Structure formats: structure tokens, C-alpha cells
Amino acid sequence: MTPSFDALLGTADLALRTLFAKPHATRALPQPAGPGSELSQTERREAGALMRVNHVGEVCAQALYTAQAAVTRDPKLRAHFDEAAREETDHLAWTQQRLDELGARTSALNPLWYLGAFGLGLMAGRLGDPLSLGFVAETERQVEAHLDSHLDRLPAGDTASRAVVNQMKLDEARHAAQAWSAGAQELPAPAKALMRLASRVMTTVAHRI
């Protein structure tokens, strides 16, 4: 099925909004259970770098879901991808807010990350809905593990960032479960390994740039 001109314009609009517009969350910023402590400059830099990586992950999530929604022929699945993308917009807004509060910047390579993730989403979608959903489930599983590692690395006093990462982790686990419920097919081991490698490259580069 060839996307209509209106659909192409909508896809381009979503890309521009993700990359250049201020995201707006539909849910309030998660609040920490207790007060944090004053962060040193070193701690602020590390927290900012980790939240920049998380922000890149949300840029990629927008691209993946937008691409997969564009190529599926199943209206229900398209609605599922669109809804997941809207929820990921909360994560995009939350990580952006924490970057601003920490005095950190977003990745200078965000357009490149978006383009790469969009391409992966198109490829996954072209493999058929079960494998496309399997790609979502595996992506979310790897993201959940990645967020767990950030909880270990974030400064103990940065309770605000920890609250955001904890809620993101819960949401990603739910997205993976929804993908399995919708009929996801397990990806082959080589595909999972390639995804881990791509994720490692992205997180390493985004931590610095």
C-alpha cells in the first residue's frame, strides 16, 4: 500500500515536531518520593548525560512508532502504534524538562538518530505485523534493561531524574506486554544481537554528543 500525500505530510509533521518543537506531556512530571540533595558539578554533568541518552531513546521511539504506523494495513494496529507514540511523547517531554533543569543539552545528532530509527521501523513494518510487534517487544525489553542500568548510575541525590526513569521503565514494560498481547512474534537471536549493538553505539555516542 502506497501512503497518500496527506499521510506523508503527517509523517513529516510528526518528525519536525519531535525534533524541533517543545514536546507537551499529557501526564504530570513524575514526582520523587522524597527530597533530593544538592548535586555537585560532576554529578550534574553525569545526570545530564544519562538523561540526554534517555531523551535520544524517546526521539527514536517516536520515529519507530511513526514508521510502523505508516506501513501497517491493520487499522487497529495503527491505532495501537499511534497511542504508544503519544504516551512516549510524555517521556520526551519529561526528559527534556530534566535536561533543562540540569542545565544539559539534547543530542546534536537527534536528526540522525530519528532518521535511523525511522528506517528501522519501516523495515520492521515491512516484515509483517507479527514481526513488527516482535520488534516493539524486544525494543521495549532492551530499553527497560537500559533504564535499570541508569538507575544504578544516576547520582543518589538526583531523585527527580530517578522518578522520571522509574515511571518510564514501568511504561516500557507495559508497552512490551501490550505488543505480546497483540500477537508479537519472537525475533531471531541475530536480530536481537544487532539491536543490542545498535543501542550500544547510540548510547555511547549520545552520552557525549
pLDDT tens sequence for the chain (209 residues): 455 545 566 666 677 667 766 888 889 999 988 787 888 999 999 999 999 999 998 898 888 888 888 888 888 888 888 888 888 889 999 999 999 999 999 998 899 888 888 888 888 888 888 888 888 889 888 888 889 999 989 998 999 999 999 999 999 898 889 889 888 888 888 888 888 888 888 888 988 88
Domains of the chain: 38-206 (1.20.1260.10)
Nearest CA among 93, 28, 88, 24 for reference residue 60: 88
pLDDT at 183: 86
pLDDT at 1: 47
pLDDT at 61: 87
pLDDT at 16: 62
pLDDT at 9: 62
CA dist 49 → 3, 33, 106, 112 (Å) = 38, 23, 9, 18
pLDDT at 94: 95
The DSSP string of the chain is -PPPHHHHHHHHHHHHHHHHSPP--SSPPP--SS---PPPHHHHHHHHHHHHHHHHHHHHHHHHHHHHHHH---HHHHHHHHHHHHHHHHHHHHHHHHHHHHT----TTHHHHHHHHHHHHHHHHHT-HHHHHHHHHHHHHHHHHHHHHHHHHS-TT-HHHHHHHHHHHHHHHHHHHHHHHTT--PPPHHHHHHHHHHHHHHHHHHTT-
